[in-house]
Amino acid sequence: MKIQKIKPITNGSRHRIKLSKYLLAKCVISDKTLKKSIKQSQGRNNSGRITSWHRGGRNKLGYKNILDSNNFYKTICLNLNYDPFRSSFVSNTFDIVKKIFQYQLSTTTNYPGSYSMKASSLNEIRCNYRTKLENIPGGSLINNISINENRESQYIKSSGSFGHLLQKNKDKAIIRLPSKKLMSVSLSSYATIGIVSNEKNNLIVLGKAGLNRHKGRRPIVRGIAMNPVDHPHGGRTNGGRPSVTPWGLPTKCKFYLKKSKIRKQKKKESL
């Protein structure tokens, strides 16, 4: 995708940078089983209390069911679609074997007409193919990793992310995650070869607060700007209090780590 810098006609478009999504198609699958509407909680629980702050007031979205299972398939990509719940793009595919339509997580080499398949053993290795780690050569770039053979994919699913298959032993494979952390996974787990699509997503600049409101992100207010009823930092004379949470717990000096260590020591003493 190409990067577009908007002509500064208004204040909101002065600093805005967006991606021209000319490769995306507006047509979607008409099958209702692959789409569902999610009830938006606006950051509240069942009793109406706020559990996640700075959420609410977003546009109505439709969720697309992505194929995450490790079942055998042979698909042809029809077009690429935008998914509001994900930073990466989604490919609209048709399964040749089962004769059904389905959504898949798209990679950078996935275009309309490209072929992909998933199998426990493959005769050839190509980008956008999904197979076990024991069949993938060392040093490959992979994504959409599942921990076990029977579990769905959990790791490396955001836009532009990829893992590095460093080493393979008898039973385990060592993978470097995008966070530079090393993780050992069984060789029977599945992974997709390639990089997740929309790798330029981090270059987007919204340009105005209204676009954040459309995404359901409400403004973040400092505690010192609140009233004493709302936050311990509130009021004009807060008394030089050290930084705390809205519930009065310290936020510095690794307070939570110390608290967890004390709990572990008490459990050992009780045992």
Identify which of 41, 44, 50, 46 has the alpha carbon closest to the alpha carbon of residue 230: 50
Cα–Cα distance for residue pair 89/178, rounded to 1 Å: 19
CA distance 197 to 206: 20
User: What is the structure's pLDDT at 255?
Assistant: 67
For 101-132, how does the pLDDT look when each residue is reduced to its tens digit (9 = 90+)? 889 999 998 989 999 988 888 888 888 899 99
Q: pTM for this one?
A: 0.81
Q: Which amino acid is at 235?
A: G
- State how far the Cα of 234 lies from the Cα of 236, in Å rounded to an integer: 7
Q: What per-residue confidence (pLDDT) applies to 9?
A: 92
Region of residue 144 (left: phi > 0; alpha: psi -120 to 50; beta: else): left
What DSSP designation does 267 have? H
Q: Given a cut of 80, is residue 20 above it in pLDDT?
A: yes
Q: What is the structure's pLDDT at 175?
A: 94
pLDDT for 133 beyond 80: yes
Lowest mean pLDDT among 7-11, 220-224, 234-238: 234-238
Better-scored residue on pLDDT, 95 or 41:
95
Q: For the chain, give the number of residues.
A: 271
What six digits make up the tokens of 27? 């047509």
Domains, in order of start, for the chain: 2-37+54-201 (2.30.30.30), 221-270 (no CATH)
Lowest mean pLDDT among 178-182, 212-216, 252-256: 252-256
Greater confidence (67 vs 48) lies with 48
Phi and psi, residue 260, nearest 5°: -65, -35
Average pLDDT on 61-71 reads: 80
Q: If you average pLDDT over residues 71-97, what whole number do you get? A: 89
SS3 124: coil
The CA distances from residue 257 to 155, 179, 242, 250, in Å, are: 26, 22, 18, 12
